[in-house]
Structure formats: C-alpha cells, structure tokens
Structure 1
Amino acid sequence: MKATIVTIGDEILIGQIIDTNSSYIAKALDKIGIATYEMLSVSDEKEHILETLEKLQNKVELVIITGGLGPTKDDITKKTFCDYFEDKLIEDQEVLKHVKYLIEGFYKRPISQINKEQALVPSKATVLFNKMGTAPGMWMQKENTVFISLPGVPYEMKYLIDEVIVPKLINEFNRSSIVHKTVMTYGRGESLIAEQIEDWENNLPNYIKLAYLPSPGKVRLRLTARGNNEEGLKNEIENRIKELYKIIGEIIVGTEDDQPIENVIAELITSKKKTLSIAESCTGGKIAQSLTAISGASSYFKGSIISYATETKINILGVPRELIETYSVVSKQVVESMALQSQKIFASDYAIATTGNAGPNKGDSEAEIGTVFIALATPEGVYSEEFNFGQPREKVIGRAVNKAFELLYKEILKK
C-alpha cells in the first residue's frame, strides 16, 4: 500500500515555516506497513490543489493532506474538497458543540460566525473528530484512493494521526509489513565502509534494501525489509546484522532502534558510577547540549565551561597563559590542559575538551582551518588526538562532537 503526503500553504513554499508534519505522518504510516511514495507541497490556490488531487487519484491508495482548514479566507481546503467530490458543505452538530465549548467555555468569549463555520464539512465526508482544536479532519474516497484532510497545526495533526487515523487504517486495510533496523557506526567514512561490506551487501536478499545515511563523523546503515511475515523479516535482518558485526564490528556502537551514542554513553557511565565534565571551545556547547537533552543526565554530568575566547580559557578555566603563548590556543598542550582543568574544577572522573579552528577565519590561532584537538582526561591521566575535519564550519563542529563521543565511548568500554 502506497501513500502520498501533501502539505498546503504558501508559508511552507516561501520557507516561512518548516514542514515537520510530513515526516511525522510518514513515520506513523511506516510503522503500520504503508510506504510513503512521495511528499508534495502546494500553494493555497484552488486550481493547484484540484490538479494535485486529480493527479494522485488511483496513483496511490492513500493521500493525506495537511493545512488549509482554518477559519480565514485563505483556508480553502474544505471548499476545494467539495468541488472535487461534487459535494456541498453541511453543519456537523457534534463539531459545532465542540467549537462552542472551546470558544465560550475555554477561551471565555462569544462564538462568532467565522467560528461556527469551522463545523461545516462536506456531506459525503467521514468526519474525524478533533478534540484538540476547532478544525475536524475529513475522510473521503474516490474510486481507488482515500483522501484524508487534516489541520496543519502540528499538535492537532499528531492527535488525529495517532488516535483516529492509524487505528482506522489498521482496521480497514490489508497491509504488508515494513521492518527497519539502523546500525550506528562512528569514525569511518561512507565510501570506506561501502568497500569493506560490498560482498555482504551484494548477498542481501532482494526483499532487504540497504541505505547509507552519512553525517559528520558517523554513518548510519539502514536495513529495510518488506513482506508479509513480519517476524520472519525481523529475524532475517537480525541475522544479517550479526554478519555485519563480524566485518566492521569495531566501529559499530549499536542500533538506532536502541538509542544513539550519547544515550549509550549515559547508560555506561551511570552503570559504572562515574562522572563527566566538559570544556568546550570550537564546539560551542553542543556536546553538553546533546548530553543534557537526555533525561537523568544530572546523575553523571557535573557541568561544562564554554571557554570560547582565549581570555576565558585563562581566567575562568585556568589554562596557563604561557602554555597558550608557547603552543597556541589550538594545540595538544592547551586542549589537554583544558580537560585536566575541567576535571579538577568539577571533580569529575572523566572530562572532554575541544579546541580548534572551525572557520571561516582562523581566529586566535594560526592552525589550519578545520583543525580540531580533542582531549580526554580519565582517572589514569590525559591524552588527546588531532584531526582535520575540512570545511564548512558546520561540518567541522558536527564531526568534532561525534568524534568526542566516539573517544569517550571507547574509553569507558575499556574499564
């Protein structure tokens, strides 16, 4: 079963807002075995919407549309649906009752005519009751395609997808199974990994597809299997991943189905009753941000100093001025001092430090742009590594963050 997701709104086409609805809907459909065939964004123009509906009819079994259901004149989805399905708008009493409750009972103001018009729906539509807002969803079918229209407000859309639409789709359609498993690797590039696992990849059965998902410092390998036996698909993927561990196991840190590397680190360091602190320069707090986004980080994470400027490294972190003057702010000696000072200030077992030239200018150092030093202070001592992560700036910072996690993960595993 295939689906197309359509977002309606000029605000998306001009980049005023980011479309997060489509990715949420696609994930929800994927979990119940419905493959998203394409995602489209169209303008708030009646003819454009009608052309899109006509093009998609019988091309896919399911079309989910978000946006254009508000009370203002630029929200034209309901009227356009009526034109496409040769229908008319009628007042739905249950929806009207709910709208009156929200406006008069919750917002404490008189209901207006424009509010009442939210209860107008196509007479042929199955109304999808939206208890989170005033705009109901609509379910309509033409020949072999079901068209579903949802409000564009994300929390309203999510409620309808999770509580109304997914259960209805499960009940009304026979679907095949789609199984995903993503292997997380750190510290090796996409092309090198592809060379190492070429034979393994070539021997995958035709119902299992491999996708490479590279980002700075890490590569995700996603296996996708489609078929009618979900349990059999899961077992086959697990067996293929076991084979993969034998080839590149040294760079695999787990599967995304489990958790990303920062979650793995959090569990490891907590289980060993150890603590961590950070001194960041070129990464600007992104390492600390990733760790503190995880619930329970306070049990092991002692704190961080973003010593971005040279004077901050000296006056706040306590790096000796003469060390910087002798070796430069981007150096092995300085980054190791940063890690040791962080470890001392926060009384932590481990400490990570970063310093480098992310670009586009060299700043306080003559080191080449892209150069990054990462240090790790441990209960036994301190060590550092030098890297050149190239350009642009965003890539340098992203790779530095991921490399820092990789070094810490491997260090904790030794104990």
Structure 2
Amino acid sequence: MQAEIITIGDEILIGQIVDTNSQFIGQQLNKIGVAVYQITSIQDDEQHILNALKEAQSRVDIVILTGGLGPTKDDITKKTIAKFFNDDKIVEYPEVITHIKGLFAKMNHPFKEIQRYQAQLPSKATLLMNHFGTAPGMWFYENETVFVSLPGVPYEMKGLIKNQVLPRIQKQFKLPFIIHKTIMTYGQGESTIAEIIEDFENSLPKHIKLAYLPSYGRVRLRLSAKGEERIELENELNAAVAKIYQLIPDIITGLDDDASLEKRVGELLKTSNKTICTAESLTGGKIAATLVSVAGASAYFSGSFVTYTAAVKNKILNVSKETIEKHTLVSKQVALEMAKGAKEKLQTNYAIAVTGNAGPTTDKNTDNLGTVFIALATDSKAIVEEFNFGQPREKVINRTVSKALEILQREIL
C-alpha cells in the first residue's frame, strides 16, 4: 500500500514556510503500514494541481493533499478537485455552516458571508468535519484510489489525520505491518560504521532494510521490516539489533524510540532528581533552548547564562581576568571556570559550559576556527574536553550542542 503527499502553496516553494505537514503525515502513515512513495510540493495553479493528481493516481493507492482550502480567491483546491472528478458540481453543506457559526460565536466574531465558501464542496466529497478550524477536509474514492484533501494549518491537519483519515484508511484497506528499530550511535562516522557492519548488512533478508541517518556528532541506524505477521517481524528485528550490538558495542548509546537526545537527557535528570544549568558563549543559548524544548523541563532545568564577552564572563560567572589574559577566552581553563561559576550561582547538580571559535573569524587569539571547549561541573568533579568541529559556523554551533548533551548523558549514566 503506497501513498503520495501533495502540498499546495507558493509559500512552501519560495521558502517562506517549512513543510512540516508532509513529515507528520508520512510518520503517521508509516505507523499503520502505508509506505510513502513520493512527496510533491506544487503551486496554487489549477493545471499544476490537475497534473499532480493525475500522475499520483497512476502510481499510488492513496493521495493526500494539504493546503488551498481557505475562504479567499487564491484558494482554488476545491474547484480544481471538482474539475478533476469530471467537473463535479459544488454544493453547500449546511452542517459546515452550523459548525463555523458555532466556532465564531465562541470567539464573539460575527459570521461573514465569505465564510460560506468554506462550506461549499464537491458533491462527491465525503465530509471530514474539522473540529479545530473552519475548513473541512474531504475524502474521495475514485477508480480504486483514495484522495484526501486537508487544510494546510498544521494543528487542523493533525486533528483530521489522527481522528478521521487514519481510521478510514485502516477500515478500507488490509494493511501490512511496518516496524522500525533505531539504534543510536556516537563517536564514529557513517562510513566507518558501514565498513564494520558490512557483512551483517549484506546478510539481511529482502523485507528488512537498514538505513544510515547521520547528523551532527551521531549516526542513527534504522532497521525497518515489512510483512504480514507482526510477532515474526518483531522477533527478526530484535535479533538483528542484537547482532549490531555485538559488532559495535562501544559506540551504541541505546535504542531511539522516537525520543530525542534532549528528551532522554531530561528523563535521566528527572529520574535521578538532578538539576542542570548552562553557561554558553558561542552557542548563544542554544543548549538551553534545546533542553527546554522538552515538555516538563522545569523539573530539572534551572536556568542559563549567555556570557558572550570577557567582561560578562567575569562579572556574571566570576571567570577571572587573569585566566582570560593568560589562556584566552577560548580555553579549557575559561570553560571550567564558566561551568563552576554557573553551578555555584544556580546551585544545580550539573552545569554545562561552552566556549569556542565558531567562525568565520577568530576572536583576538590564535586558536583554529572550529575549536570548542565543553566543560561539565558536577557535585563531585569538573571535566573539560576539547574539539575541533571545522567549519562552517552553523556546523560548529550545532555539533557543540549535540556533543554537550552527549557528554551530559554519558556522565549521568
């Protein structure tokens, strides 16, 4: 069973917004055994939409569109879909009018006639009521292909996918199981890992695939199995995971159950009833922002200091002027004093501190571009590690964030 996702909107093509809808839809379809064959982004143009629908129908079983369902003249999706289905007529759905009026009444907004357009849909559409907004979704079944049209607003689309689209797909089709196991590794590159586990990868049966997912400082190894018997697939995947553990035990940090590194660190801190703070220079608060992106971070995250200059490092964190003058701002000594100063100020169990040269120029010292020092102060000791993350600037900053959280996780464990 294969699906294609089509996102409609010039704002995606010109980079004004990031297409997170396709990512979410793809994840949800995969969970119920539907493989995404292709993701397409197209303009708000009638012929472009018609061509995309025709091409998708020729290669997949399910076509899901998002976007173009608003009340304004540039939202042409409904009329174009009606034309695609042999010039289907547009009719008004009274229940949608009632729903919109109810939403507006709760917000003390008057119902305007322009909103009536939201209730005008192709007659062949099965209505998918949007309980989070005014634009309903639509379901069509034509020539053994399902077509679903959804609003582009992410939280509205998500509600319709979870509550209406997925249950309908599961009811209409007999779906296989698709199961994933993802192994988290740190400290080795993709090519090195591939060389070590080459024989294992070559021995995998056709229904089990291995994918390498590299990012800053880490590589995820995702094993995917597809078949009709769930228990058999799970047993095969567990056996494959065990073999990888035997081949690269030193660099595996665990299985990724859709949990990010920051989420796993947060869970470790919460379980051990420990707290953390950060003192950041080159990362400008990004480590703190990453930690607090996890819901419930207030249970373990106390605060952060962004001390970009020498004067602020001295005034806020008590990094001595002598240390800075002797060793420069980018040094293990400064990183250690930053970590100790932050920990003392906020009385946490752990404190991460980072200082470095992200580039593209150095800061009045001779350190190489990309040089970073990451310090961690705990209740019993303080450690510091030196890295060179190369260039460009964005890579240095992102790898520093990733490595800092990795060091924290390792220390907690």
TM-score bucket (shorter structure): over 0.9
2:349 corresponds to: 349
Counterpart Cα distance in 2 of 1:91 and 1:120: 4
Instruction: Deviation per CA, 1:270-315: give whole Å up to 9, x if none.
Output: 4334333322112221222222223343333333211111111111
**Counterpart of 2:248 in 1: which secondary structure?**
helix
Of all paired residues, the percent bearing the same amino acid is 53
Q: Which stretch of structure 1 is more off in the superposition, 372-381 or 323-332?
A: 372-381
Offset at 1:10? 1.5
Residue correspondences, number: 412
Q: In 2, are the aligned partners of 1:58 and 1:143 still within 8 Å (CA)?
A: no
Instruction: Deviation per CA, 1:61-107: give whole Å up to 9, x if none.
Output: 01011111111111111111121112111121222222333345644
| TM-score, reference length from structure 1 | 0.94
Counterpart Cα distance in 2 of 1:347 and 1:101: 51
**Counterpart of 1:368 in 2: which secondary structure?**
coil
**Counterpart of 1:54 in 2: which secondary structure?**
helix
What amino acid is aligned across from residue 112 of structure 2 in structure 1?
A: I
Q: In 1, are the aligned partners of 2:339 and 2:353 still within 8 Å (CA)?
A: yes
1:311 corresponds to: 311
> CA 1:77–1:356 in structure 2 vs 1: closer, same or farther (change >3 Å)?
same
2:288 corresponds to: 288
Offset at 1:347? 2.5
What amino acid is aligned across from residue 31 of structure 2 in structure 1?
A: K
1:238-277 matched pairs, under 5 angstroms: 238-257=238-257, 259-277=259-277
Offset at 1:34? 0.5
Q: In 1, are the aligned partners of 2:291 and 2:297 still within 8 Å (CA)?
A: yes
Q: In 2, are the aligned partners of 1:186 and 1:402 still within 8 Å (CA)?
A: no
2:93 corresponds to: 92
Counterpart Cα distance in 2 of 1:33 and 1:308: 49
Q: Does 1:101 align with 2:102?
A: yes
Q: Which stretch of structure 1 is more off in the superposition, 217-226 or 288-297?
A: 288-297
Counterpart Cα distance in 1 of 2:150 and 2:160: 8
Q: In 1, are the aligned partners of 2:201 and 2:210 still within 8 Å (CA)?
A: yes
Offset at 1:126? 1.3
What amino acid is aligned across from residue 210 of structure 1 in structure 2?
A: L
1:369 corresponds to: 369
What amino acid is aligned across from residue 95 of structure 2 in structure 1?
A: E
Q: In 2, are the aligned partners of 1:31 and 1:178 still within 8 Å (CA)?
A: yes
What amino acid is aligned across from residue 349 of structure 2 in structure 1?
A: D
Q: Does 1:131 align with 2:131?
A: yes
Q: In 2, are the aligned partners of 1:245 and 1:252 still within 8 Å (CA)?
A: yes
> CA 1:289–1:106 in structure 2 vs 1: closer, same or farther (change >3 Å)?
closer
What amino acid is aligned across from residue 111 of structure 1 in structure 2?
A: K
> CA 1:296–1:159 in structure 2 vs 1: closer, same or farther (change >3 Å)?
closer
1:387-398 matched pairs, under 5 angstroms: 387-398=387-398
What amino acid is aligned across from residue 292 of structure 2 in structure 1?
A: T
Offset at 1:217? 0.9
Counterpart Cα distance in 2 of 1:106 and 1:334: 54
**Counterpart of 1:361 in 2: which secondary structure?**
coil
> CA 1:84–1:204 in structure 2 vs 1: closer, same or farther (change >3 Å)?
same
Q: Does 1:230 align with 2:230?
A: yes
> CA 1:340–1:25 in structure 2 vs 1: closer, same or farther (change >3 Å)?
same
**Counterpart of 1:141 in 2: which secondary structure?**
strand
Counterpart Cα distance in 2 of 1:380 and 1:110: 64
Offset at 1:387? 0.8
Instruction: Deviation per CA, 1:232-257: give whole Å up to 9, x if none.
Output: 21221122112212222222222221
Offset at 1:169? 0.7
Gaps of 5+ in 1: none
**Counterpart of 1:79 in 2: which secondary structure?**
helix
Counterpart Cα distance in 2 of 1:34 and 1:394: 35
Offset at 1:168? 0.7
Offset at 1:13? 1.4
2:411 corresponds to: 411
What amino acid is aligned across from residue 192 of structure 2 in structure 1?
A: L
> CA 1:121–1:276 in structure 2 vs 1: closer, same or farther (change >3 Å)?
closer
Counterpart Cα distance in 1 of 2:77 and 2:96: 17
> CA 1:395–1:110 in structure 2 vs 1: closer, same or farther (change >3 Å)?
closer
Q: In 2, are the aligned partners of 1:283 and 1:400 still within 8 Å (CA)?
A: yes
Instruction: Deviation per CA, 1:192-220: give whole Å up to 9, x if none.
Output: 11122222222222211111111111111
Counterpart Cα distance in 1 of 2:247 and 2:115: 62
Counterpart Cα distance in 2 of 1:278 and 1:81: 52
**Counterpart of 1:75 in 2: which secondary structure?**
coil
Gaps of 5+ in 2: none
> CA 1:220–1:146 in structure 2 vs 1: closer, same or farther (change >3 Å)?
same
Q: CA RMSD in A?
A: 1.7
Q: Does 1:44 align with 2:34?
A: no
Q: In 1, are the aligned partners of 2:317 and 2:337 still within 8 Å (CA)?
A: no
Instruction: Deviation per CA, 1:168-211: give whole Å up to 9, x if none.
Output: 11111111111112111122211111122222222222211111
> CA 1:205–1:344 in structure 2 vs 1: closer, same or farther (change >3 Å)?
same
2:53 corresponds to: 53
| TM-score, reference length from structure 2 | 0.95
What amino acid is aligned across from residue 166 of structure 1 in structure 2?
A: L
**Counterpart of 1:163 in 2: which secondary structure?**
helix
Q: In 2, are the aligned partners of 1:12 and 1:41 still within 8 Å (CA)?
A: yes
Offset at 1:258? 5.8
Q: Which stretch of structure 1 is more off in the superposition, 209-218 or 285-294?
A: 285-294
Instruction: Deviation per CA, 1:114-155: give whole Å up to 9, x if none.
Output: 222221111122121222222221112221211111111222
